[in-house]
Amino acid sequence: MSIQSHYQSLMTRARQIEALGQVSGLLGWDQETMMPRKAGAQRAEHFAAVEAARHDRLTDKGLADLIDGIDPASLDLVQRRNVAELRRQHERAARIPLRLAEELARLSSEAQDIWVQARAARDFAMFAPALKRMVALKREEAACLRREGQSHYDALLGDYEPDMPADHLAEMLDRLRPTLVALREGIAASGQKAPAISGSFPADRQIALSREVAGLFGYDFAAGRLDLAVHPFSSGTMGDARITTRIDERDPFGCLLSTIHEVGHAVYEQNIDAAMMFTPVGRHASMGVHESQSRLFENQIGRSRAFCDWLFPRMHDTFGNFGLTGADELYRVLNRVETGFIRTESDEVHYNLHIMLRFGLELDLFEGGLEVDDLESEWNRRFARDFGREVPDAAQGVLQDIHWSGGSFGYFPTYSLGNIYAAALTRCLRRDLPDFDGLVSRGDLSPVIGWLNARIHRPGNLMPPEALMRAATGDAVSEIPLIDYLKAKYTALYAL
């Protein structure tokens, strides 16, 4: 077999593996947007069957032989990365028994249904048995995955952010915390309140505005669609990158900012180089990088003073008078800082504190002996300590997020990493596009999107996340741009 046909055999196998992964993604999208209520038991079997097939493909002896038999020296750089990534996927899967892979896939689907019900009932005890099974399976998985000397938690985190140890992340977050606390206290002491909105915000107009804004941020509706979900998310890649949003008819900003956030994810996926479709490099680089795109769109652009120049008249056209006098007031509303219970509704000052709470609990679940039975009380105790308020019920506390029901332990900290990356990228964007604010205020986002396309989107997984970020920003990852950004923004806004 020639080296090229050897390589093509590997890529044919990679294509099937990647396609099955995309099928699982579609099953998940359908479950959260379209699936009828009574389909839960069947859907869990669908996930298990697809995951078992994917696991079989990944652990196949023939694949291992092909990987072992190829000489990387005969390959070009992209091919070498593809083979290395396929090897990594193979080795990861080979550490997980098929039974565990199937059980995790099935339980992720089942537990999500239970979580939905428990959250509606505001009853953690309803969810606890499923979560206990999940934590047990994830502990088992972490024990299988961890390399010599690696912690269990790092083994899980590595699925979302390769080569980013929890220690390193924790250090950055620890250095970030004092800024957040100081800003929160300063803002509270300032006694300033954001103006109140009024008026009516019918669902169809919110959707129409969301669609317009999605297009403005570069979302291609011919390669995606917008639906409603309780917990907005994005799903899919390249020609099929779908987004969801949520609607509250008393407040249009949840819908709008959720849409902008998910568009950030989807525009990333839609713009990965299509020539790499169904190969290991034809994917996002990491969840931290993914989140940097959604956060940059949502916060650095969507919540900026410049964007309010564009947004205010559009909102006025859409909803009529909604109680605000202009872009300045809109900017204040979009950046209202308040100590609330819900992560997804929180402002930029509180957001990372919410993440730190979850990150700490996850570390203790996997490294510190914390058990599910104590999770709710521990959540409430730490929330009171860190946020100074008592959690009123589980739906506003430990049950608020979908992640743990799907087994996504190690995912939360990538949100904060995304904020760190986003601030670093925006600093460079402002340097390379000196009229950044002017462009944003005119709604001319194409130069911004083009900059991100070239540096972050198109390369996909050609490089590890740290190398990608270094290539894009010229710098090592650091929390300093985020600290500088938050200080500058909120000090000015609240005249601290």
| Residues that bind a second copy in the complex, under the rule CB under 8 A | 15-16, 19-20, 22-23, 26-27, 30, 34-43, 45-46, 48-50, 52-53, 56-57, 220-225, 236-240, 242, 277-278
Catalytic residue among 262, 291, 345, 466: 262
Residue closer to a second copy by CB (options 15, 80) is 15
Residue closer to a second copy by CB (options 54, 205) is 54
Nearest CA among 453, 233, 417, 195 for reference residue 324: 195
Min dist. Cβ of residue 239 to a second copy (A): 4
Q: In degrees, to the nearest 5, what angle opens at C-alpha 402 toward C-alphas 222 and 161? A: 75
Min dist. Cβ of residue 280 to a second copy (A): 15
Residue closer to a second copy by CB (options 36, 434) is 36
Integer distance in angstroms from the first to the last C-alpha of the chain? 69
Residue closer to a second copy by CB (options 21, 340) is 21
Distance of CA 384 to the CA centre of its chain: 26
Residue closer to a second copy by CB (options 210, 414) is 210
Residue closer to a second copy by CB (options 243, 482) is 243
Q: In degrees, to the nearest 5, what angle opens at C-alpha 415 toward C-alphas 414 and 418? A: 85
Nearest CA among 14, 167, 175, 142 for reference residue 85: 14
CA distance linking residue 178 with residue 250, whole number of Å? 34
Nearest CA among 347, 348, 302, 305 for reference residue 327: 305
Q: Are 74 and 6 in contact (CB under 8 A)?
A: no
Q: In degrees, to the nearest 5, what angle opens at C-alpha 490 toward C-alphas 176 and 422? A: 55
Min dist. Cβ of residue 82 to a second copy (A): 17
Min dist. Cβ of residue 421 to a second copy (A): 27
Q: Are 458 and 271 in contact (CB under 8 A)?
A: yes
The dihedral sign for the CA sequence 84, 88, 94, 95: positive
Q: In degrees, to the nearest 5, what angle opens at C-alpha 386 toward C-alphas 381 and 392? A: 50
Tally: H helices and E strands in the chain: 20, 3
Min dist. Cβ of residue 260 to a second copy (A): 20
Distance of CA 347 to the CA centre of its chain: 16
Residue closer to a second copy by CB (options 106, 205) is 106
Element containing residue 466 per DSSP (H, E): helix 465-473
Residue closer to a second copy by CB (options 103, 466) is 103
Min dist. Cβ of residue 27 to a second copy (A): 7
Min dist. Cβ of residue 176 to a second copy (A): 38
400, two tokens: 């608020």
Under 8 Å CB-to-CB from 141, ≥6 apart: which residues? 96, 100, 104, 155, 156
Under 8 Å CB-to-CB from 83, ≥6 apart: which residues? 7, 10, 67, 70, 72, 75
348 noted as active-site residue: no
338, two tokens: 């308040």
Min dist. Cβ of residue 15 to a second copy (A): 7
Q: Are 224 and 11 in contact (CB under 8 A)?
A: no
Active site residues: 262
